[in-house]
Structure 1
Amino acid sequence: MKLTSPFLLLAISVAVALTGWFAAVITGRYSFPTPVLPLTGLLTMGVIVALTLVLGIRVLRWRNGRKKKILNPILAAWTLVLAQACAYTGTVLLGWHAGVFLDQLRLWNLRSDQGITWQAVAMAGGGLIMVIVGLVVERFCRIPPEDGDPDSPPHLQGKHGKPSAEGEYAYRGD
């Protein structure tokens, strides 16, 4: 499985930012409320980030050999999927609220209450944290190259092009 590309996340964020900006312009034109998630969404985002980090650290500890007990492969796969979902969800939230924030900036001097603007900034910041945690935990779930893998880095290869024991992980089942 390939790692999530930060450039793909950036492209998605820019596209969603344009959509969020357009939605904020349209809702403002027709006197509808600004399409921003409530601040209670930060609690949900915090729970998702915390869960992703806890599971990711668990996988990282096993991968680095600090746990003797074998890791459930389904749990590791779920952690990877959760990390990727966290990154993509954070990208959408960041993009949407950045677009809304850009629309609110043009009205900054005309409004006495900038609560919606700061709410959009807070939600965009929460989305950015989700992206960072998702990408970091996704890297926690990487396993080292297998024996004979032609894609293994040169520093893991021995004299004859075969991987050396350094940097590899042995089965730790007791």
Structure 2
Amino acid sequence: MKRTHAPSLLALAAVGLAVGYLGDLAIVSSGASALVPPLSLALTLALVGVVVVAFAWPIRRAVKGTGRRVDPFRAMRVAALAKACSLSGALVTGIGAGIALFLLTRTVVSSAASVWLSVATTAGALLLLVGGLVAEHFCTLPPDDPEDEEPAHA
């Protein structure tokens, strides 16, 4: 599995920004009230970011040689979870920022609580993104040492 790169994260964040802004614009244009994410979403996103790092910590210790051996299938599942967290964190960061941008650019002043809830969602998603990237880094193996390799044709 390849590591997550910045262009894919930025692209997902840009798509999320457009979806958040245009989605809220469409909802308000239809006559409904603006979509405001609840505080529980921000807290859950941040908690999942912390949990994925906690799952990757024993793998990091095993890679560094200070911990006990880890099942490779478990390490692969944690690495896949970390990648999913980083990608979904980038998307939800964009959506939260798009909602906050929409609420801040309206001609009708929205309540401060609505803006703060969308900013909190953006911050929680950013913690999920960072937690996913850190956990993904914890699950990578160090490069092979060329001194330990013997010639293949010896």
Give the structure-1-normalised TM-score: 0.78
Whole-angstrom distance in 1 between the partners of 2:101 and 2:42: 20
Cα pair distance change 1:117/1:74, threshold 3 Å: same
Which residue does the alignment assign to 1:151?
Answer: none
In the alignment, structure 1 residue 164 sits paired with structure 2 residue 138: no
Aligned mate of 1:122, from 120, 123, 138:
120
Amino acid paired to 1:136:
V
8 Å contact kept, 2:4–2:83: yes
Q: Which residue of 1 aligns with 2:43?
A: 43
Percent of counterpart pairs with the same letter?
Answer: 28
User: What are structure 2's unaligned runs of at least 5 residues?
Assistant: 149-154
**Distance in 2 separating the partners of 1:42 and 1:76:** 27
The one-letter amino acid paired with 1:25 is L
The answer to whether the Cα contact below 8 Å between 1:34 and 1:116 also exists between their aligned partners in 2 is no
Aligned to 2:136: 138
Deviations 1:20-66 (A, max 9, x none): 11111111122323223211112322331122011111111111111
Aligned residues between the structures: 148
Shift in Å at residue 19 of structure 1?
Answer: 1.5
Q: Which runs of 4+ in 1 moved over 6 A?
A: none
The CA RMSD measured in Å over matched residues stands at 1.6
Decide which structure has the larger Cα Rg and report it. Answer: 1
1:49-97 residue CA offsets vs partner (Å, 9 max, x unmatched)? 1220111111111111111x32111211111011111111111110111
Q: What SS does the aligned partner of 2:39 have?
A: coil
Letter in 2 for 1:86: C
Larger helix proportion, structure 1 or 2? 2
Where in structure 1 are there 5+ consecutive unaligned residues?
147-155, 157-162, 166-174
- Deviation, 1:164, is 1.6
Alignment of 1:90-105 (within 5 A): 90-105=89-104
- Cα separation, 2, equivalents of 1:125 and 1:112: 20
